[in-house]
Amino acid sequence: MISPFTYFPGAGRGFQRLVSNCWLLCLFLLSLASVGHAEPSAANNAEVEMGRKIYMEGMRPSGESLKGMRQSSVQVEGATAACETCHRRSGMGSLEGNIVVMPITGRFLFATAENRPLALVDPREAKNVTRAHAPYNDESLGKAIREGINVSGAKMSPLMPQYALTDVEIKAVSSYLKQLSSDLSPGVGESSLRFATIVTPGVDPQKSKVMEDMMRRAFEQRNASQQTYSGRMRSPLDLLPRTLRNWELTVWVLEGAPETWAAQLAEKYRSEPVFAVISGVSTTTWAPVHNFCQQEKLPCMFPSVALPPVETGYYPLYFSRGVTLEAEVLAKHLRSEDKSVPKRLVQFYRDDEVGRGAAKALTDALKDFDIKIENRALDDKDLAHLKNTLKDISSKDAVMLWLQSADLTAVSKAAPKQVPAVAYVSGFLAAENYSFISKAWKPNVRVVYPYELGAKREKNQQMMKGWLKTWQLPLVDEAFQSEVFFNVLFLTDLSSQMLDNLFRDHLIERAEDMLSFGSNVSAYPFLGLSRGQRFASKGAYIARFGKDGKLGADSEWLVP
Ligand code: HEC
């Protein structure tokens, strides 16, 4: 059982400062206790599973697909009729256009006035929270599902379909809802909310340090601001009662070969469970982390990685598809240039996961296109003898440099006087460091650039730059740091909208719904996730250096 104070143990602290607000007082009194829920028993399990199939898959126990009616004709069927479509995986509801879809987990449906939890139902309006209603029982739930009449006897929005379910099926749905999002997720403590960030081996220590420093500073700032209600204007959202929880950050530094990461992650997670993984950085593979997040149902929000797995999951979210996206953007660009494209494209890449992945993605994307692709995978030995590797490059060739800045510098040093027709560089891998480019090469260099450029970029980055200055944190890699900065701000917004409904599925749903609404402080032109999408930015520019030495767009924003 959850103690009566699980949801709002700290509400009293904020409360004293809020008594002048009558409606808040009422909310506070209503939310003092939380709903108890049934302990799962073996007999209950089969029923819950039956309910899950209806709720999540739109599948009835008979194997027949669920049909939802409006005005007595079938309007939705199967997966689209599944309750999850509107009420979401967490059961916490959603906003469909302007129509509020209620949270319908047991905590909300069966709550009495004394134990009613609170959810924000329209993030655009901080006062729009769940309203009190008499507690549902299986009979009134049946009436809502079958006839579209809610517990207060009112006809509901026609958006809510009507379903001809049997008593057994209604009971199964009821059992499913009672256990759905009933316990707060792991990583949520009485007075703490724990997050991790992850660093894989081989990352420049300066980068991982600046990430950690930024996150720690942001967490401290956020923790300090939730304790003090006076002194600064706050969003009305911050005034809704909730438990004050300090955010805690732990850094999971992985070591050794990727095959061993899963065990390391499991051990770290076992010793200190976290609610979500925020940011993270890798210059090699990320697949073991991705798989771990998916397996533990652990949201892994927007790490800075060059090669996210192609196969998406539910819990890992990414800024973009990294070098795979760049490869497809470049292919699109080459196809549109057609006639003027060199006949041969030589790809140089590190013989590692990211390099091979990038080279393969470009080869695949240029299938059936009239260009000869040659691959040159480089290891440390090759890099020492680069002159040999580069000597046959002529002014008729295009080259693609899937290389990080240290390797780019080596290439530049060994580069022949002979300048290729065009040298493409990966914007992700170059990491904003173009100092390697020699004067001779510069006019022929094109950067496949996944970030915004020019004045808009400047504007979006201003806030971060000011913040870094305030806290005397260095600016070492603008795009990367903007990803970290975006993450902590976005997380702050999401968590304040979630109030005390700290369920991981709900975090992902909120991220999907809210990503395109927040102010974009990242280096990307636009971030957005439709339902089920897992890559927030979907294109890149082909960019070149102008006379002023600055990078500018040489193409429109290309979305493959
Ligand atoms: C197409 C979207 C949609 C689907 C699918 C859907 N609902 Fe709803 N549901 C709604 C909307 C919208 C409301 C709010 C209607 C209103 O209050 O006017 C609602 C309200 C409810 C309510 C009343 C909540 C309250 O606070 O009174 C219950 C119970 C409910 N739905 C259960 C279900 C179940 C169970 C399923 C699956 C069998 C389901 N819904 C599928 C959109 C949907």
Summarised one tens digit per residue, pLDDT across range 158-217 is 899 999 999 999 999 999 999 999 999 999 999 999 999 999 999 999 999 999 999 999
Cα 527 to averaged position of ligand 1 atoms, centre (Å)? 30
Nearest to residue 27, comparing CAs of 135, 182, 132? 132
User: In the chain, which residues fall in CATH 3.40.50.2300?
Assistant: 192-318+455-526, 323-449+542-553
Cα 29 to averaged position of ligand 1 atoms, centre (Å)? 27
What does the pLDDT look like over 407-463, one tens digit per residue?
Answer: 888 888 887 778 899 999 999 999 888 888 888 889 999 999 999 999 999 999 999
Residues 502-507 have a mean pLDDT of: 97
- Please report which confidence band the pLDDT of residue 40 belongs to, taking 50, 70 and 90 as the band edges: low
What's the rounded Cα separation, in Å, for the pair 216 and 43?
A: 47
192-318+455-526 has CATH 2.60.120.10 classification: no
User: What percentage of the chain carries pLDDT values higher than 90?
Assistant: 69
35-179 has CATH 1.10.3720.10 classification: no
Residue with tokens 């974009």: 520
Q: Looking at residue 92, what is its pLDDT?
A: 96
Q: 102, 108, 133: which to mutate for ligand 1, most atoms within 8 A of CB?
A: 102
Q: Looking at residue 235, what is its pLDDT?
A: 67
In the predicted model, is pLDDT for residue 359 greater than 50?
A: yes
- Taking CA atoms only, the protein residue closest to ligand 1 atom 40 is 83
- Please report which confidence band the pLDDT of residue 133 belongs to, taking 50, 70 and 90 as the band edges: very high
- Taking CA atoms only, the protein residue closest to ligand 1 atom 12 is 101
Give the contacts of 466 (CB within 8 A, at least 6 positions apart). none
Cα 101 to averaged position of ligand 1 atoms, centre (Å)? 6
Instruction: Give the residue with greater pLDDT, 42 vs 471.
Output: 471
Q: Looking at residue 64, what is its pLDDT?
A: 96
Phi-psi category of 181—alpha, beta or left, where left has phi over 0 and alpha has psi -120 to 50? left
CB distance 95 to ligand 1 below 6 Å: no
Give the contacts of 251 (CB within 8 A, at least 6 positions apart). 196, 197, 198, 199, 208, 212
Q: Which atom of ligand 1 is nearest to the CA of 152?
A: 27
Cα 102 to averaged position of ligand 1 atoms, centre (Å)? 7
In the predicted model, is pLDDT for residue 8 greater than 70?
A: no
Q: Which atom of ligand 1 is nearest to the CA of 173?
A: 35
What does the pLDDT look like over 251-279, one tens digit per residue?
Answer: 999 999 999 999 999 999 999 999 999 99
Q: Looking at residue 408, what is its pLDDT?
A: 87
- The CATH number assigned to the domain with range 323-449+542-553 reads 3.40.50.2300
Cα 89 to averaged position of ligand 1 atoms, centre (Å)? 13
User: What's the whole-model pTM score?
Assistant: 0.89
CB distance 276 to ligand 1 below 6 Å: no
CB distance 160 to ligand 1 below 6 Å: yes
Q: Looking at residue 2, what is its pLDDT?
A: 31
What's the rounded Cα separation, in Å, for the pair 165 and 162?
A: 9
